[in-house]
């Protein structure tokens, strides 16, 4: 007899089960069903196979396989799917998580180390999952004299701002979460939030290390925001649009990096500074000020900041791809969907199964996504590379670079773009368009 439940009786156990079922049914029918119907009343339901999908038909996809794929396809074009899964958070978080692992292995290989090795059978492939579980199970410690509301809000705001940035990046034709006419300006607006969040959380933690790190982050980000904005104006001048999707479409024949290499270099350096990566990682200089403005974060709060940082990394790499490397443009390498399956279905032995609604994604979108991911991963690796090679630079050198050299180079880039525009070579109505 176990000592955990010495008064155990089977009849009482079964009785409690019935009790539970009774309450679940009661609450579901009194609260749950009305909520479900109110939600279904307000959601605009799609027309599937020429028939409006009423709430009563919502579950028929389980019984009728010919409705399954059209419903799934319809769901994939809703905003909630775009925000949560494909061009939005899920996709970006997957790439960000892969980046964390690849960064560790990549840097280890550069420096002739082995990197994560013991988690998982092959090359420490489960290290990331282990780190995630560790962060989730750790206690969140708030410093005693911290300013609690701002300290709590910091990581959430950071992830939120990074997510807003991710939502503006177009991945494939038509596959973007938010597509405003002033997309690039929206990017500038979102980037402007990061230094505020950094310095506010740094101040709120009430520690010398975090405050020094936060002030460094503020100095650095403010100094590099101006060349960042200026270096992108050349692309805007030549493509004649602020919409990121239209900027990608304008690079159908050639990439802007071919004409604006100075702008691309300036933008790449400012990316490194905005992301606080080596050689500009003074805000997190671990050998001087512990971990900079992240010192007092623990547990999942640190995890959220880390997630936000890597989402931001993906978003900046995607922005570089979109503006200078032609985004989703590339030769069609994705094979077309086999016509036999659409017309005749799949035959396995005596059974022939037809799947109306195939193909799930069109060829253009898959090809665009492939090229976008290839280019973005290349840019991410380039961003990671300096960490294995360069030492950290001093703060006055950073500020000197930002305020003097990069702004000057960005202006030269603008003059090149203007020259190409007024010579009638490129731009709206140019020779090569």
* 215 versus 381: smaller Cβ distance to other proteins: 215
With respect to other proteins, which residue has the nearer C-beta, 218 or 315? Answer: 218
For residue 329, how far is the Cα from the chain centroid? 20
Distances (CA, A) of 350 to 66, 183, 353: 20, 54, 10
Residues 6 or more apart whose Cβ sits within 8 Å of residue 13: none
Q: How far is the CB of 30 from other proteins (least distance, A)?
A: 29
Instruction: Kindly list the distances between the CA atom of residue 303 and the CA atoms of 89, 158, 167, 213, 260, in Å, as whole numbers in the listed order.
Output: 16, 11, 21, 18, 37
Q: Are 205 and 146 in contact (CB under 8 A)?
A: yes
Helix or strand run (H / E) with residue 353: strand 351-353
Q: Which residue has the tokens 């280019």?
A: 375
Q: How far apart are the C-alpha atoms of 273 and 294, rounded to whole Å?
A: 17
Nearer to other proteins, 180 or 408 (CB): 180
- Helix (H/G/I), strand (E/B), else coil: 193: helix
Q: Which is nearer to other proteins, 211 or 314 (by Cβ)?
A: 211
Q: Hunting for tokens 């279904």 — which residue is that? A: 40
In 250-362, alpha helices (H): 261-274, 299-324, 339-343
Minimal distance, residue 183 CB to other proteins, in Å: 9
Q: Bridge partners of 351?
A: 348
CB atoms within 10 A of CB 406: 24
DSSP state of 62: G
Count CB atoms within 10 A of the CB of residue 7.
5
For other proteins, the closer of residues 180 and 419 by Cβ is 180
Query: Minimum distance between the CB of residue 399 and other proteins, rounded to whole angstroms?
Result: 11
Encoded tokens for 57: 């038909």
C-beta of 394: minimal distance to other proteins in Å? 8
Nearer to other proteins, 203 or 259 (CB): 203
- Minimal distance, residue 199 CB to other proteins, in Å: 6
Q: In the bound complex, what is the minimum distance in angstroms from residue 161's beta carbon to other proteins?
A: 11
CB of 285 to other proteins, least distance (A): 17
CB nearer to other proteins: pick between 293 and 328: 293
Would you say 38 or 374 has its CB closer to other proteins?
A: 38
Dihedral of CA atoms 23, 25, 26, 27 in degrees, nearest 10, equals 80
Shortest spacing between CB 192 and other proteins, in angstroms = 2
Closest CB to other proteins among 84 and 182?
A: 182
Nearer to other proteins, 103 or 225 (CB): 225
Query: 191 vs 313, which CB is nearer to other proteins?
Result: 191
Q: Which helix (H) or strand (E) holds 133?
A: helix 127-137
Find the distance separating the first CA and the last CA of the chain, reported in whole Å. Answer: 84
Closest approach of other proteins to the CB of residue 400, in Å: 7
Residue 232 exposed, middle or buried by CB count within 10 Å (0-12, 13-18, 19+)? buried
For the bound state, the minimum distance from the C-beta of residue 296 to other proteins, rounded and expressed in Å, comes to 17
CB of 152 to other proteins, least distance (A): 14
Which residues in this chain contact other proteins in the complex, by CB under 8 A?
147, 150, 180-182, 185-186, 188-189, 191-193, 195-196, 199-200, 203, 211, 215, 218, 222, 225, 242, 394, 396-397, 400
Q: Specify the DSSP class assigned to residue 173.
A: T
CA–CA gap between residue 380 and residue 317 (Å, rounded) = 6
Nearest CA to 376 out of 239, 171, 194 is that of 171
Q: Is the separation of the CB atoms in 55 and 40 below 8 Å? A: yes
- Rg of the chain taking only CA atoms, in angstroms: 27
């Amino acid at each position: 007899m176990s000592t955990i439940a010495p008064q155990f009786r089977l009849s009482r156990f079964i009785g409690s089960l019935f009790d539970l079922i009774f309450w679940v049914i009661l609450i579901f029918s009194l609260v749950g069903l009305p909520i479900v119907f109110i939600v279904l009343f307000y959601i605009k339901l799609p027309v599937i196979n020429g028939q409006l999908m009423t709430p009563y038909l919502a579950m028929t996809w389980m019984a009728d396989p010919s409705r399954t794929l059209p419903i799934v396809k319809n769901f994939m074009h809703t905003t909630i799917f775009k925000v949560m899964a494909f061009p939005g958070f899920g996709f970006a978080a997957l790439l960000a998580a892969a980046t964390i692992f690849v960064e560790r292995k990549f840097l280890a290989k550069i420096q002739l180390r082995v990197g994560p090795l013991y988690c998982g059978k092959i090359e420490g492939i489960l290290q990331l999952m282990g780190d995630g579980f560790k962060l989730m199970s750790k206690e969140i410690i708030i410093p005693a004299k911290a300013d609690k509301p701002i300290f709590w809000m910091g990581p959430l705001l950071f992830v939120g701002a990074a997510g807003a940035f991710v939502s503006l990046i177009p991945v494939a034709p038509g596959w973007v979460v938010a597509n405003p006419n002033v997309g690039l300006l929206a990017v500038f607006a979102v980037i402007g939030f990061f230094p505020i969040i950094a310095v506010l959380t740094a101040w709120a933690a009430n520690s010398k290390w975090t405050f020094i790190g936060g002030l460094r982050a503020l100095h650095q980000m403010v100094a590099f925001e101006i060349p960042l904005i200026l270096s992108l104006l050349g692309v805007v001048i030549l493509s004649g649009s602020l919409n990121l999707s239209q900027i990608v479409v304008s690079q159908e024949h050639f990439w802007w990096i071919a004409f604006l290499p100075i702008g691309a270099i300036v933008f790449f350096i400012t990316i490194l500074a905005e992301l606080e990566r080596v050689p500009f990682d003074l805000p997190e200089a671990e050998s001087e000020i512990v971990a900079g403005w992240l010192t007092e974060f623990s547990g999942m709060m640190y995890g959220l900041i880390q997630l936000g940082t890597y989402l931001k990394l993906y978003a900046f790499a995607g922005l570089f791809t979109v503006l200078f490397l032609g985004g989703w443009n590339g030769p069609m390498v994705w094979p077309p969907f086999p016509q036999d399956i659409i017309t005749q279905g799949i035959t396995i032995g005596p059974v022939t199964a037809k799947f109306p609604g195939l193909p799930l994604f069109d060829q253009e979108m898959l090809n665009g996504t492939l090229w976008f991911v290839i280019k973005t991963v290349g840019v991410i690796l380039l961003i990671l590379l300096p960490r294995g090679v360069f030492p950290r630079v001093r703060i006055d050198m950073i500020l000197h670079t930002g305020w003097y050299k990069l702004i000057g180079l960005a202006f030269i880039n603008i003059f090149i773009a203007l020259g190409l525009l007024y010579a009638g070579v490129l731009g709206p109505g140019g020779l090569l368009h």
